[in-house]
Amino acid sequence: MVTDPVPLQLAAEIFPNGISRYAVGGLLVGLGTVVIYLGTGIPAGASTFLESTLSYVSGQSRFQQYVSSRDWRVVFTLGIILGGLAFAATIQSGVITTSLYQPGTTGELYEIGGVTLWSTEVQAWRLLVGGVFVGIGTRIGKGCTSGHGVCGVGSASKTSLVGVVTFLAVAIATAQVVAALGVGP
Amino acid sequence: MSRNRHPLFMPVIFVGGLIFGFGLGFSQMARPEVVLNFLQFEDFGLLFVMFGAAIVSGIAFAVMPRIRDSAPLTGNRYERRLKPFDRNVLIGGAIFGVGWGLSGICPGAAYASLGVGNVTILWALAGMFLGAYLQGRWRSRAASTDTVAAGAD
């Protein structure tokens, strides 16, 4: 019997789905940020879209400060959605296969018009309540996983590093408590 | 800035968003389950996504200001993303952490999740807009009572 050397066993344990899909995906997320930055000088984050879009329907002063950027933020978000769809129509559908991608077994796959789509099994109340906290928290805390986590950390910003450590630590604690309470998925 | 935008401004934003969203799909961050697995220490792959992306963008943030003064499509100066630190970064970060840990969803990944077919994510998006609206209302009110002297109404 051939056993993997210890480091490989350890890697298989903490990375049960390998690392390539994460690393390649992360490089692409960074590349998307870079394309926008090179062209426009804007280090784009995803959460300001929430407030800037609310400026279309609410006159609150807090939202009106984003009027000048709200149109491109809509375009950015539309790009992200369609980027997800492009991924679904190619790799998720198996039209393009690559050894760098491991599909995993979470959630449910379904098909519409030859495109393999994916849907979560995480309960609706968790998404809704969690979403409210995310909406409040990212706006008070000046950024989210892309604003602080990608652009801020990429800028070696101390504020963003503190922000990332804070939300990462609290999220880990929250998820552990929720799991310990037996809530799932 | 919005008046005389370069004709390529919006296309570049859109293409950047496309690559960004494709990457979120590929990395499985558009799946709340995978994020929750990370937070429960079952799969540490998320670290590669966040730091991989930060390294790539970090190279651009470090190099571009040395090569050029301003971006071709906007004339904006190439600067790093530096936000002032205050208590809100901790408070907001902690609130965001509760939401992220409960749902496994953050804003960018939620948009991409809709794209990969996860219609259920509309619950999270509704929640995010509601949360952003609540805090915006509260802050607008706090700001107006700060600037307009007490007893204005």
Altogether, the residues listed in chain A come to a count of 185
Q: Within a 13 Å sphere around the CA of B138, how many CA atoms are in the beta-carbon half? A: 9
Summarize pLDDT for B17-48 with one digit per residue, the tens: 999 999 999 999 999 999 999 999 999 999 99
Domain ranges across chain B: 8-150
Confidence of residue B64 (pLDDT cuts 50, 70, 90): very high
Q: Which of A27, A141, A177 sits opposite B92 (nearest CB)?
A: A141
Chain B residues 64-103 with CB within 8 Å of chain A:
64, 70-74, 76-85, 88-103
- Cβ <8 Å between A107 and B33: yes
What DSSP letter does each residue of A25-66 carry, written as one string?
HHHHHHHHHHHHHHHH-----STHHHHHHHTTT---HHHHTT
Domain ranges across chain A: 108-184
A120 touches chain B (CB under 8 A): yes
Angle between helix B87-103 and helix B32-39 axes, rounded to 10 deg? 110
User: Which of A20, A22, A38, A95 has the most B C-beta neighbours within 10 Å, making it the best mutation to test the interface with B?
Assistant: A22
Chain B residues 28-67 with CB within 8 Å of chain A:
28-34, 36-37, 39-61, 64
Q: If you measure CA to CA, which chain B residue comes closest to A125?
A: B123
B153 touches chain A (CB under 8 A): no
Question: What's the pLDDT at B152?
Answer: 41
Reply yes or no on whether the pLDDT at A1 is more than 70.
Answer: no
- Cβ <8 Å between A43 and B57: yes
Q: Which of B37, B78, B132 sits opposite A51 (nearest CB)?
A: B132
ipTM of the complex: 0.95
Q: Which of A78, A84, A185 sits opposite B24 (nearest CB)?
A: A84
How far apart CA A119 and CA A99 sit, in angstroms, is 23
Reply yes or no on whether the pLDDT at A139 is more than 50.
Answer: yes
Reply yes or no on whether the pLDDT at A38 is more than 70.
Answer: yes
**CA of A128, closest CA in chain B: separation in Å?**
5
Question: What's the pLDDT at B151?
Answer: 44
Q: Which residues of A touch B41 (CB under 8 A)?
A: 172
Question: What's the pLDDT at A3?
Answer: 67
Question: To the nearest whole number, what is the mean pLDDT of chain A?
Answer: 95
Q: SS3 of B28, please?
A: coil
Reply yes or no on whether the pLDDT at B2 is more than 90.
Answer: no
User: Which of B95, B105, B140 has the most A C-beta neighbours within 10 Å, making it the best mutation to test the interface with A?
Assistant: B95
Question: What's the pLDDT at B153?
Answer: 46
Count A/B contacts: CB-CB distance under 8 Å: 570
CB B100 within 8 A of CB A130: yes
pTM of the model: 0.94
- pLDDT more than 70, % of chain A: 98
Mean pLDDT of the region A168-181: 97
Q: Which residues of B touch A68 (CB under 8 A)?
A: 1-2
Reply yes or no on whether the pLDDT at A76 is more than 80.
Answer: yes
Question: To the nearest whole number, what is the mean pLDDT of chain B?
Answer: 93
Reply yes or no on whether the pLDDT at B149 is more than 60.
Answer: no
Summarize pLDDT for B69-103 with one digit per residue, the tens: 999 999 999 999 999 999 999 999 999 999 999 99
Summarize pLDDT for A161-173 with one digit per residue, the tens: 999 999 999 999 9
A3 touches chain B (CB under 8 A): no
**Burial zone of A162 (CB within 10 Å; 0-12 exposed, 13-18 middle, 19+ buried):** middle
